[in-house]
Amino acid sequence: MSLSCGDIAMSGHDTPIGVFDSGYGGLTILQQLRRQLPQYDFVYLGDNARAPYGPRSFDVVYDFTRQAVLRLFDMGCHLVILGCNTASAKALRTIQQNDLPIYNKERYGIIPGTATSAWSGNRVLGVIRPTVEVIGSLTATRHVGIVATEGTVRSESYTLEIAKFHPDIVVTGQSCPLWAAIVEAGEAESEGAEFFVRKRITQLLDKDPLIDTIILGCTHYPLLINAIRKVTPQHIRIVPQGEYVAASLQDYLHRHPDMDARCSKGGGIHYYTTESPDRFKECAAMFLHEEVQVQHIDL
C-alpha cells in the first residue's frame, strides 16, 4: 500500500522536522534534537491513544507508524524521525524500502536509483542505527546489553544491526514490560520503580556477566536513569539514545544539504496527540520540565 497525501497541512512556508512516537518517550529524543539543533522547526506527533506499541504485532505497528508518517508528510515535514524504538524496529525498514520509493515517485516524480530530481525526496529515519554506529567505541569487553520493550527485544533489531557494524560484539536483550508504564505514572523516582529496575538489570547481567555497556532501548528509560544507575555496577556504562540520535541527525543534514535547505529554521515546535491534550500536557511536563501547547489529531 503506497503513501499518499491527505488533507491536513501547515503553512506553505513551514517545513519542520517531524518526530513521531507511539507515546511520550520520543520527547526525550526531541529534547536532545532541540538542544543540538535549536534553529530548526519541529513537529512532535504522539499516538498516545493507541500506545503502547511494544506488545503489538509487526503488521499493526507498521500500519500505525505508516499512518503517522503520512500525516507528518501532510504537515510539510520532508524528514521524519521515528523517536520510538518499537516503530524503528518493526516499521522503519518496510517504510524506507517499500513505501518511500512509491511516495516520492507519485509526489515528486523521483524514480529510485536515477537522477530525476535535484533532491532525494522525503525521508524517514529511526533511533536504532545512530546508537548502533557508536556502540563499538563505548564497550571494552565487547559484551553489550539492551533493555527495551518486549517488541523491540523480540525483533532482534539491535542484535542484527550491531552485527552489521560490529560483528565481534555479543548482544544480550532484556525486555522490561513495566518500565514505560512506571514512567508515565509519574513513579520514576519511587521505591517501586527501583524494585522493577533492579529485577530486570539483575536478569540481564545474570544472562551475561561480561556486559560493560547497557543501551536504553526505549525512549522512556532516560527518566529512570537514577534508578538504573543505582542498581547497576559502576563499571557498566549506561547509554541513553538522545544525544547520539541528535548528533546523527546533525551529520545527516550536513551530508544532505538539499534536505537541510528544505527544513525551516525558526526554532519553533508544535505538539500533536491522538489522546487527550490535557493528559499529554501533564506527561510532557514530566519529560520536558516545561509546559507545552498541544492539539488533538486523528490518525
Does an H or E element contain 245, and which? helix 242-255
Counting Cβ atoms within 10 Å, is residue 10 exposed (0-12), middle (13-18) or buried (19+)? middle
Q: Are 50 and 275 in contact (CB under 8 A)?
A: no
Give just the sign of the alpha carbon dihedral 177, 192, 30, 8.
Answer: positive
Q: From the candidates 176, 218, 263, 283, which is the catalytic residue?
A: 218
Distance CA 271, CA 204 (A): 36
Can you name the residues that pair with 125 across neighbouring β-strands? 81
Nearest to 142 by CA among 162, 126, 120: 162
Q: Are 39 and 68 in contact (CB under 8 A)?
A: no
Residue recorded with cell 491513544: 49
Q: Are 90 and 62 in contact (CB under 8 A)?
A: yes
Counting Cβ atoms within 10 Å, is residue 167 exposed (0-12), middle (13-18) or buried (19+)? exposed
Counting Cβ atoms within 10 Å, is residue 291 exposed (0-12), middle (13-18) or buried (19+)? exposed
Q: From the candidates 84, 176, 263, 283, which is the catalytic residue?
A: 84
Is residue 218 part of the annotated active site? The answer reads yes
| Active-site residue list | 84, 218
